Amino acid sequence: MNFKLKVWRQNGSSALGEFTGYEAKDIPEEASFLEMLDIVNEELIERKEEPVAFDSDCREGICGMCSLVINGIPHGPGKAKTTCQLYMRRFKNGDTIWVEPFRAAAFPIVRDLVVDRSAFDHVIEAGGYIPVRTGSAPDANAIPIAKTAADLAMEAAACIGCGACVAACPNSSAMLFVAAKVSHLGLLPQGQADRGRRVLGMVRKMDELRFGNCTNHYECEAVCPAEISATFISRLNREYMAAATADALAVG
Amino acid sequence: MSVTLDSKVPSGPLEQKWEHHRADSKLINPANKRKFDILVVGSGLAGASAAATLAELGFNVKCFCFQDSSRRAHSIAAQGGINAAKNYQNDGDSVFRLFYDTVKGGDFRSREANVYRLAEVSLAIIDQCVAQGVPFAREYGGLLANRSFGGAQVSRTFYARGQTGQQLLLGAYQALAQQISLGTVRMFPRTEMLDVVVVDGHAKGIVVRDLVSGEISSHAGDTVILATGGYGNVFYLSTNAKGCNVSATYRAYKRGAFFANPCYTQIHPTCIPVAGSYQSKLTLMSESLRNDGRVWVPKQKGDARPPSQIPEEERDYYLERKYPSYGNLAPRDIASRSAKEVCDGGRGVGPGGLGVYLDFSDAINRLGKDVVRERYGNLFDIYHNITNEDAYEVPMRIYPAVHYTMGGLWVDYNLMSNLPGLHVLGEANFSDHGANRLGASALMQGLADGYFVIPYTVGNYLATQMNKKISVDRAEFKATEKEVRDQTMKLLGIKGRKTVTTFHRELGLLMWNKCGMARHADGLKEALRTIPELRQEFWENVNVLGTGQELNQALEHAGRVADFLEFAELMCLDALERNESCGGHFRVEYQTPEGEALRNDDEFCHVAAWQYNGPNSRPIRNTEPLVFESVKLAQRSYK
């Protein structure tokens, strides 16, 4: 298969970027999107042109390192998959494909298609954990957890932290990401003691790091590779309301 | 001159060794702990759990990873589960049984005392992870669910759908995040370790490259902990993430740490077959699928009929036939070799005949599609996405692929290498899996090392290092930094005609053919001739564009491939010197009449720990004898 690519090139975070056109020739239809970019990069190197920088690691859809906005959609066309799990058979021979980095104020571009998503780590650091000292845990079966609660917690915990939700949102909101972690931990009995502090810490950090708010576009849910449901955002809002009210009352 | 290796295994009965060792281990008082700086390289299960726990104890920790976030470490991709001897199923499990299964699974080539300790602490790992909020699968009564894995006849594997590694890693990542927020850990993402700094014979620091700015700098510490994973990518195609590499452990080896059993590699039986030469990696289908999937090939050579048209009596369920008591849950090395055997015999299926069927039709008939979907739905989705085939309708096609490496840096019972001050955890060390790792044991080992072993044993070293602070201004740091800079400049200066990936692919193919699932002295000798030629060509003809002062992914890859090109030779040498077959190391010259691995306990019941001996000399093969006090060496039987 052959494609015309329009790829965002940007030589460093402070440089000006632009789209550059490349031909992707003789691409096997079984190749993944990233393997197609590999092939293009090999040809660029052979022509002594700098290859396109892009992030990837596990290439099986779980590590969350790959990104890219393909034809305007984070992780490209199709549901519930990352860019590394997008295969060229989904495109038509001769297609023109636009490739851009995830764009959000909180995710500055590092180079070409590589962005800095450390803001997500800082949001987790602000409360996205259950504080438990190693070695102090009770027996794992001491607290039975209803299968329905455990299953729902797992649905939320499946988030891979890729940031597609932010890239897709017109407000660059991280609400789906935050909601997933707040729900995962808040649904479990182990997560109760720190529940209020968690949601307040994470939401405040999210605001501070220039992520926007949710205005119900549902774009996040549509592109999420882990199929995290936007209903978790309602849960986040409830958790936040309860915690903020309690916090305000406690402060008096 | 070979060296005597002291494993520091405590004396006394097996089941009391760890307890006694903990009681005898040195403690550091709380006021002194904050005076110690610990450098942790790698943030997977072993690295993140160690960094978080050591910081919680009061040490100053710096943690480094090459990915953009510590949450991306490749532990995240482990699918199936984690073993623990909880015996929640009341099916006869015990610490001893988990220990025995693991020693036997490793074909009696692991250190007995380490494995027993691993089985012991497996209990606490599950407690710890549940308390952190890891959403393990549960039964309707609210208690934890289990499933079976290869090499075991009990159900002791805890799991979170097909994403167990992800959930365990996120648990450790969140524990690490808490410590980062408390200021006890400083995290350095997108930072690659390029060398160990040795001062007066002790590992006292590392040289790193900031992968965004390209800046090369040093960090000093009272001890260095490597938790940098395995070297499966020496084969180019593997189930490892693209970034996985041998550089951290290999460069430590060149600084004096011994590399143990590099030839022990694990070929996982259930991966999606290779589709073409452009392919960048292979994808695993979890071993848990063998709980309900049945492996078969046509009885007749070259049978090209679609699977649905091959009647039952013309199918060979070869694992069930050869190993009736374990059946489809035979250990990985045995299942992989059996697949190779039927494919070599012309009975493989799919393009090129390099595949076997993993068939779920019986399970779907017995349990219904919904139950199968609940158990394995995400794996079926992955399979469909990659192959465009629906495994609910047609059997999966699978083939073995490189997955894990049991070899690694040699460590003693304290997890310290022979290079004082250098500790090595998780897949990066050699200790617990012998010549073959059982499924669901890697996660167990990574977390055991990080949460429950190193926090106790690190004191034994640190207690000897009070008031021995070393600054990065020392000449040793400057000299090591210069070597790293020189190598970077050299790679950038060649500007030859071949890409880094081309070299990596060539090396990988060579290793797969000569040092893969089946090895022969002739092939290994040939590889030992060819690898140096390829390496020389690399240093004359590789083309790395750009500069060192920027994000330069080709440069990162070039450094890793340069190390693989040296390490590959060590692997082949180790494979050649080990004149026996054991676990994942199968030398075709040494097999039983039925084609099973034939060990040679008289001559090879030992660890081979290789010592670097300069760039142009053959490394020295040191040995640590393996002494089995509690188990009897036997030929592994899964029949």
Render B264-313 in DSSP notation, one character per residue. Answer: -EEEEEEEPPP--TT-----B--GGGGGT-EEEEESSTT--S-GGGS-GG
Smallest Cβ distance to B69: which of A120, A135, A138? Answer: A120
pLDDT tens-digit series, residues B370-417: 999 988 888 898 899 899 999 999 999 999 999 999 999 999 999 999
Residue from B165, B159, B59 nearest B443 by CA: B165
Q: What is the C-alpha to C-alpha distance for residues A231 and A222, in angstroms, rounded to an integer?
A: 13
Q: Is B304 on the interface with A (CB under 8 A)?
A: no
For residue A251, give how far its alpha carbon lies from the nearest alpha carbon of chain B (Å).
23
Residues A106 and A141 both lie in one domain: no
Q: What is the C-alpha to C-alpha distance for residues B59 and B179, in angstroms, rounded to an integer?
A: 11
Residue from B533, B473, B556, B631 nearest B115 by CA: B631
Given a contact cutoff of 8 angstroms between Cβ atoms, the answer to whether B117 and B19 are in contact is no
Spatial CB neighbours of B90, under 8 Å, sequence gap ≥ 6: none
Which pTM value belongs to this model? 0.97
Q: What is the C-alpha to C-alpha distance for residues B543 and A143, in angstroms, rounded to an integer?
A: 58
Residue-range domain boundaries for chain B: 37-264+404-465, 268-403, 475-614
Q: What single DSSP character describes residue A93?
A: T
Q: What is the C-alpha to C-alpha distance for residues B270 and B169, in angstroms, rounded to an integer?
A: 23
Class of domain B37-264+404-465: alpha beta
Q: What single DSSP character describes residue B77?
A: G
pLDDT of residue B378: 81
Given a contact cutoff of 8 angstroms between Cβ atoms, the answer to whether B115 and B437 are in contact is no
Smallest Cβ distance to A59: which of B126, B242, B550? Answer: B242
Residues A172 and A128 both lie in one domain: yes
Given a contact cutoff of 8 angstroms between Cβ atoms, the answer to whether B289 and B270 are in contact is yes
The pair of three-digit structure tokens given for residue A54, joined into one six-digit string: 């892009």
Q: What is the C-alpha to C-alpha distance for residues B494 and A205, in angstroms, rounded to an integer?
A: 47
Of A76, A110, A144, the residue that ends a domain is A110
Give A-chain residues touching B279 at CB under 8 angstroms: 31, 35
Residues A134 and A190 both lie in one domain: yes
Q: Output the CATH code of domain B475-614.
A: 1.20.58.100
Given a contact cutoff of 8 angstroms between Cβ atoms, the answer to whether B571 and B587 are in contact is no
Q: Is B365 on the interface with A (CB under 8 A)?
A: no
Q: What single DSSP character describes residue B453?
A: I
Give A-chain residues touching B76 at CB under 8 angstroms: 58, 62-64
pLDDT of residue A214: 96
Residue holding tokens 């010549």?
A: B435
Residues A137 and A219 both lie in one domain: yes
Cα–Cα–Cα angle for B101, B357, B506, rounded to 5 degrees = 85
Chain B interface disruption, residue of A34, A89, A125, most B CBs within 10 A: A125
Cα–Cα–Cα angle for B175, B178, B181, rounded to 5 degrees = 155
Residue from B552, B551, B451, B536 nearest B496 by CA: B536
Cα–Cα–Cα angle for B96, B99, B102, rounded to 5 degrees = 150
Which residues of chain B carry a pLDDT beneath 70? 1
Q: Is A45 on the interface with B (CB under 8 A)?
A: yes
What single-letter amino acid sits at B365?
Answer: N
Given a contact cutoff of 8 angstroms between Cβ atoms, the answer to whether B109 and B581 are in contact is no
Residues A165 and A185 both lie in one domain: yes
Given a contact cutoff of 8 angstroms between Cβ atoms, the answer to whether B141 and A145 are in contact is no
DSSP class per residue in B98-163: HHHHHHHHTTT-S-HHHHHHHHHHHHHHHHHHHHHT----B-TTSSBP-B--TT-SS--EE-STT-
Q: What is the C-alpha to C-alpha distance for residues B124 and B18, in angstroms, rounded to an integer?
A: 14
Spatial CB neighbours of A211, under 8 Å, sequence gap ≥ 6: A104, A106, A119, A166, A172, A173, A174, A175
Instruction: Give yes or no for residue A242 having a pLDDT over 70.
Output: yes
pLDDT of residue B639: 82
Q: What is the C-alpha to C-alpha distance for residues B434 and B275, in angstroms, rounded to an integer?
A: 32
The pair of three-digit structure tokens given for residue B246, joined into one six-digit string: 């041998």
Residue from B45, B295, B86, B64 nearest B170 by CA: B45
State whether A147 and B142 contact (CB < 8 Å): yes
Instruction: Give yes or no for residue A65 having a pLDDT over 70.
Output: yes
Q: What is the C-alpha to C-alpha distance for residues B353 and B273, in angstroms, rounded to an integer?
A: 10
Smallest Cβ distance to B72: which of A38, A57, A126? Answer: A57
Q: What is the C-alpha to C-alpha distance for residues B99 and B105, in angstroms, rounded to an integer?
A: 10
Burial of B397 (0-12, 13-18, 19+ CB in 10 A): buried
Pairing of strands A69-70, A96-100: antiparallel
State whether B127 and A124 contact (CB < 8 Å): no
> In terms of CA atoms, which chain A residue is nearest residue B553?
A53
Residues A47 and A127 both lie in one domain: no
Residues A56 and A180 both lie in one domain: no
Structure-derived torsion over alpha carbons of residues B296, B298, B300, B305, reported in degrees to the nearest 10: -170
Q: What is the C-alpha to C-alpha distance for residues B549 and A141, in angstroms, rounded to an integer?
A: 52
Smallest Cβ distance to A61: which of B128, B161, B382? Answer: B382
pLDDT of residue B80: 83
Residues A139 and A48 both lie in one domain: no
Catalytic residues of B: 332
**A-proximal residues of B, 226-265, CB under 8 Å:** 239, 241-243
Residues A219 and A128 both lie in one domain: yes
pLDDT of residue B388: 92
Residue holding tokens 């006890």?
A: B184
Residue A45 in 3-state DSSP?
helix
State whether B166 and A190 contact (CB < 8 Å): no
What is the domain-level CATH number for residue A24? 3.10.20.30
State whether B131 and A59 contact (CB < 8 Å): no
Q: What is the C-alpha to C-alpha distance for residues B326 and B309, in angstroms, rounded to an integer?
A: 28
Spatial CB neighbours of B449, under 8 Å, sequence gap ≥ 6: B46, B49, B50, B227, B415, B425, B426, B429
**B-proximal residues of A, 218-247, CB under 8 Å:** none
**Percent of chain A topping pLDDT 70:** 100
Residues A232 and A204 both lie in one domain: yes
Give B-chain residues touching A137 at CB under 8 angstroms: 124, 127-128, 130-131
Smallest Cβ distance to A154: which of B132, B160, B551? Answer: B160
pLDDT of residue B1: 62
Enclosing H/E stretch for A238: helix A231-251
Q: Is B496 on the interface with A (CB under 8 A)?
A: no
Given a contact cutoff of 8 angstroms between Cβ atoms, the answer to whether B551 and B480 are in contact is no
Residues A103 and A88 both lie in one domain: yes
Given a contact cutoff of 8 angstroms between Cβ atoms, the answer to whether B18 and B120 are in contact is yes
Q: Does the domain spanning B268-403 belong to CATH 3.60.20.10?
A: no
Residues A48 and A128 both lie in one domain: no
Instruction: Give yes or no for residue A252 having a pLDDT over 70.
Output: no
Range of the domain at A67: 3-110
Number of domains in chain A: 2
Using alpha carbons, list the distances in angstroms from residue B115 to A8, A122, B99, B104, B494. Answer: 51, 37, 6, 11, 47
